[in-house]
Chain A
């Protein structure tokens, strides 16, 4: 939202300070691409201010005044806003199982209509237009690998934006993260710490709106596979989690996803 002040100051005087008081949770913008994502802080020192409320709140009174070179300040002008947004947000999750899939240690089956590692389903509240999108961050992803020659390696950590921005605009959306099983390996364990954010843009494509965060789901699966010459790779269910059918909580939040790198460019080596 662009806020603009209009001042009629006496001749010979100049404004030395603009004072905006804006309640509620605001940002100055949100820049996101496949490589970086950051929140722009609001600038409240100019006669005009562009801000975005990111949380639905009623009766927000915005105030403005200015001060002049003679040290005197104007009376305070005020306007009241009611900020609306989708509510309630209901996101449910279901989880699958670790498996060996196409030579990979995979959390779930990525095939369309199969049971994915995790499925996020939004039940959107009625009455709101706009669009929803998912954005996923890999907070930490590491693998421990043992090769047939007995050497062991820790691989990673990988972190950053997962795949692309946004991750998906489909509802539901799923993820079946996987890692290749070393053809000369005997043991492999993958641990993932990820956060899936849900965002909503009231007017996508418009300069007057930005995506706002609605909340997120933290998920931390770990999968373990062992190799033997008789059976090939198989899942060690005792050292894999979470159990199939687990549910994870969606946390309402105004925290934006931010990143400085895409995970494919920040994977780390095996050492």
Chain B
């Protein structure tokens, strides 16, 4: 996750846009990722994105279903590609020290999706990132516990946080 942020931070915005063309599902991937959000959110309110994972293969695909923020790497950068500060929860999520500690529990278990079946998860971005008013680019990748299923990126999503 930290690597993703550094990468996005160093890329010009045009490259992020180019990534949009390459995002979602490469031909070999058995699934696609799509993220969406309400258009616009205000500071102080929950800023959530909905993540839809769809099995686009002709057969069943088994995933490990975890807490949403542990199922996906969520990268948020400003519209200019600058990194965004993490909250204490976000720092703990990224393996950084916090005092007091913040426990991030999980109960992962296998879920098998039939062709075209979907899993929908919701992630509160402001739980992970300190979001001030402005424009952001959000993109998620599916975390994998093994290499059986290739990594896939979602579409980049432009998000505007309005001041109250």
A170 engages B111 (CB within 8 Å) = yes
Contacting residues of chain B (100-129) with chain A, CB-CB under 8 angstroms: 100-112
Tell me the complex Cα distance, A218–B100, Å. 31
Nearest-neighbor residue (CB-CB) of A270 within chain B: B100
Q: Is A223 an interface residue (CB 8 A)?
A: no
Knowing A102-B145, A111-B146, the reply to whether A178 touches B106 (Cβ < 8 A) is yes
Sample of 11 further A-B pairs with CB below 8 A, known A110-B108, A170-B111, A270-B103: A111-B146, A155-B101, A175-B107, A178-B105, A179-B105, A180-B92, A180-B104, A269-B100, A270-B101, A270-B102, A271-B100
1/0 per residue, CB under 8 A from B, across A94-138: the answer is 000000001110000011100010000000000000000000101
List, sorted by A's number, 15 A–B pairs whose CB atoms are closer than 8 Å.
A103-B95, A112-B63, A136-B107, A145-B103, A158-B105, A170-B111, A177-B106, A178-B105, A180-B104, A183-B96, A184-B97, A263-B105, A267-B105, A269-B100, A270-B100
A156 engages B108 (CB within 8 Å) = no
Closest A-B pairs by Cβ, 5 of them: A184-B97, A110-B108, A270-B100, A182-B101, A111-B145
Tell me the complex Cα distance, A259–B104, Å. 21
B107 engages A183 (CB within 8 Å) = no
Chain B contacts of A182 at CB under 8 A? 92, 97-98, 101
A147 engages B109 (CB within 8 Å) = no
B108 engages A176 (CB within 8 Å) = yes
Q: Which of A147, A175, A184, A264 contacts B67 (CB 8 A)?
A: A264
Contacting residues of chain B (45-64) with chain A, CB-CB under 8 angstroms: 62-64
Contacting residues of chain B (4-42) with chain A, CB-CB under 8 angstroms: none
Chain A contacts of B105 at CB under 8 A? 141, 158, 177-179, 263, 267
Task: Give A residues with C-beta under 8 Å from B.
Answer: 102-104, 110-112, 116, 136, 138, 141, 143, 145, 147, 149, 151, 153, 155-156, 158, 162-163, 167-168, 170, 173-180, 182-185, 263-264, 267, 269-271
A170 engages B103 (CB within 8 Å) = no
Instruction: Classify the interface of chain B: helix, strand, loop or mixed.
Output: loop
Q: Which of B64, B103, B110, B112 contacts A155 (CB 8 A)?
A: B103
Tell me the complex Cα distance, A155–B105, Å. 11
Nearest-neighbor residue (CB-CB) of A269 within chain B: B100
B101 engages A112 (CB within 8 Å) = no
> In the complex, what's the smallest C-beta–C-beta distance from A48 to chain B, in angstroms?
38
Q: Is B99 an interface residue (CB 8 A)?
A: yes
A153 engages B101 (CB within 8 Å) = yes
Nearest-neighbor residue (CB-CB) of B110 within chain A: A112
Tell me the complex Cα distance, A81–B111, Å. 38
A175 engages B64 (CB within 8 Å) = no
Chain B contacts of A103 at CB under 8 A? 95
Contacting residues of chain B (111-164) with chain A, CB-CB under 8 angstroms: 111-112, 145-146, 148
> In the complex, what's the smallest C-beta–C-beta distance from A17 to chain B, in angstroms?
48
Tell me the complex Cα distance, A5–B97, Å. 67
Chain B contacts of A271 at CB under 8 A? 100
Nearest-neighbor residue (CB-CB) of A156 within chain B: B103
B111 engages A168 (CB within 8 Å) = yes
A110 engages B145 (CB within 8 Å) = yes
A174 engages B109 (CB within 8 Å) = yes
Chain B contacts of A145 at CB under 8 A? 101, 103
Knowing A102-B145, A111-B145, the reply to whether A178 touches B108 (Cβ < 8 A) is yes
> In the complex, what's the smallest C-beta–C-beta distance from A158 to chain B, in angstroms?
6
Nearest-neighbor residue (CB-CB) of B64 within chain A: A110
> In the complex, what's the smallest C-beta–C-beta distance from B42 to chain A, in angstroms?
22
B107 engages A112 (CB within 8 Å) = no
